[in-house]
Structure formats: structure tokens, C-alpha cells
Amino acid sequence: MLIDVCMEKDSLWKHEFVDPVQRAAPGSRVVHMSDVTEQDIGEADSIIICGTALMDNEYMKHWNDFGWLKRTDVPVLGICAGAHIISKIFGGSICMSNEIGMVEIRVTERNDLFRGTFHAYELHNSAASLPRGFIALAESDKCLQAFRHASKDIYGVLFHPEVRNTGTIARFLEKKKKDGPGGI
């Protein structure tokens, strides 16, 4: 399941930030953040919380709608705004940090989604801090770029893998298939 966090359902931003993720995750169902139910969460075998436009901060008014993150055993990947949501729900904070365009990312902790140093597309005015109980996975010169929950299959990436690093999405989904529900 893909969660669209854009301000409005079926907005132009959805076509920019959600549709490319859906192309990288064929067969996935898109649900707008305002329509997500506990049943949707329970039926999903994986969840990707998509990003949104640079100036769209509507999702920040809906932190409480994502409390299910603390209870789920389903693998979750948060992209940009999705990483902000994951950080905030687990006690982290959001800080100003602007990056636009291709940025060098350095992997700081071995993980299953990416390795070494790579370039990724960035489009953000803010970054997420590392919440307690999470492990930093990658960074840029400006900020934390990726993190993972220490015991749950919950990942956050600040970069947009749907633009130039679709392998990150594929590896997230492939690990879920190989290890089964709840296991990356």
C-alpha cells in the first residue's frame, strides 16, 4: 500500500510524488492519508509513505493519524515527508535543512536497501532527526538521509528514490517478499 500525503486527493502533486513510486512498486494500492483505516494497515503486506511537494506541509497537521506506526509489524518505508512522519511519531523532530537536486549520500551503516556512496535526488526544506530506538544508515553533507528502527522493519529516507534510485524501492519490496510479512 502507498500512502499519499499530498494536501489534496488526486492532486498534481500526487502525480509528481506518488505515481512514480507506484510505477516502482507495481500492483500497489494508493490510499490518501485522510482515508487510511486500521483495516487498510492490517491488510497491507508493506507500506510506503510517499513524499509531497516542497511547499506542501499539510501532513504536519496530521501527525496523530500515523500513530499506527508504533503498533504495526508491517514493513514501512517513509520517503521524504514519510521519513519526517516516522521520525516525529517516534519522538524525533523536524529541522530546517534545504537540499534540491542531486546530492551525494554516504552510507554509514550496512543495510539491505543501499550500499557505499551514491547520488540521489533531493527536494526538501526540512530534515528529520534520528528518533530514539533508530539507527542512522546514511547522511549527506547537510543532514541525516536514512534511518531504520532498531527492531522493526521501519525505514525512512529523506531522498526521493522514485526519481533516480528505484532500486531502493525494489530492494525494500524484494526483502519483504523473501522474508515474509513483518520481516525485512
Q: Summarize pLDDT for 64-115 with one digit per residue, the tens.
A: 899 999 999 999 999 999 999 999 999 999 999 999 999 999 999 999 999 9
CATH at 21: 3.40.50.880
* pLDDT of 175 over the 90 cut: no
**pLDDT class of 184 with cuts at 50, 70, 90:** very low
Using one digit for the tens of pLDDT, what is the confidence trace for 130-153?
Answer: 999 999 999 999 999 999 999 999
Tell me the β-bridge partners of 77: 48, 155
**Phi, psi for residue 140 in degrees, rounded to 5:** -115, -175
- Residue 89 falls within a domain, yes or no? yes
Q: What is the pLDDT of residue 54?
A: 83
- Residue 184 falls within a domain, yes or no? no
Element (DSSP H or E) covering residue 19: helix 19-24
Q: What is the pTM of this model?
A: 0.92
- Residue 46 falls within a domain, yes or no? yes
Question: Domain tally for the chain?
Answer: 1
* Mean pLDDT computed over 172-178: 75
* pLDDT of 176 over the 70 cut: no
How far apart are alpha carbons 139 and 62 in whole angstroms? 27
User: Active-site residue numbers?
Assistant: 80, 160, 162
* Mean pLDDT computed over 40-44: 95
Domain that holds residue 19: 2-179
**pLDDT class of 53 with cuts at 50, 70, 90:** confident
Evaluate the CA torsion angle 52, 121, 70, 93 in order and state its sign: negative
**Which residue has 500492483 as its cell numbers?**
27
Average pLDDT, the chain: 92
